[in-house]
Amino acid sequence: MDTKLFRERLEQRLKQPLPGVEAQVKMAPRPVNSRRFEEDPENPAKPSGVMVLLYPHKNDIYLPLMKRPIYEGAHSGQISFPGGKFERTDADLTETALRETEEEIGVDRSRVEVVGVLSELFIIASNFKVIPTVGFVNEKPDFIPDPHEVAGVLNVSLAHLNDPQNQGMEQMRFRNNIVINSPYYNVQGNVVWGATAMMLSELLAVVNAIR
């Protein structure tokens, strides 16, 4: 499928009902807790936006992921999409995603064609409610990562993510003796799990439906 046709089909598919939780849960940590998808009404989640930035490269479609630096926070050292919390100056969460993508990995927002959004996802660890915006650029950008927010940019193809050999399950231990088994994607030796993996799972479900 050529790039123009792929982009057009993707945009049309994103206007239809989305796979949502059915696709997200495939990469959710086990045991799957229903609270994983429900915010606490007494402690409303903070709205945030992330960017799923697609681009053609080497006869496939790629996207960038960021490796977060080590810091005192819920997502220290993890792999994520560019993005962050909604600011009052943002018109909506798509603008949040575009702004954060420009700030974090140096992609000029004017170059990004927004083709739609994926399903909302509640992130229990940080109490964020995330809308993933799907954007498209016509060629691989020259990424300029912000050294304070980004330890590295990982470029990965949809074919790589779709390959079962690049998927696995890992046992993880946290404070208070909490143990989970988490599905993950292996991206350049990095374990991509949790909310990022769940959003990728829905993206792949959408993409595979149009290819």
pLDDT in tens, 161-170: 999 999 999 9
pLDDT, tens digit (0-9, with 9 covering 90-100), for 27-63: 999 888 766 677 888 888 999 999 999 999 999 999 9
High-pLDDT (> 70) share of the chain, %? 94
Q: Which two tokens stand for residue 117?
A: 């959004």
Which domains, and CATH codes, for the chain?
A: 3-33+43-210 (3.90.79.10)
CB neighbours (10 Å) of residue 102?
19
Evaluate if residue 73 carries a pLDDT over 60. no
What is the Cα–Cα distance from 84 to 47, expressed in whole angstroms? 9
Question: What integer pLDDT is reported at residue 72 of this predicted model?
Answer: 59
What is the Cα–Cα distance from 20 to 6, expressed in whole angstroms? 21
Q: How confident is the model at residue 12 (pLDDT cuts 50, 70, 90)?
A: very high
CA atoms within 13 A on the CB side of 88: 0
Which one-letter amino acid corresponds to residue 80? S
Q: How confident is the model at residue 201 (pLDDT cuts 50, 70, 90)?
A: very high
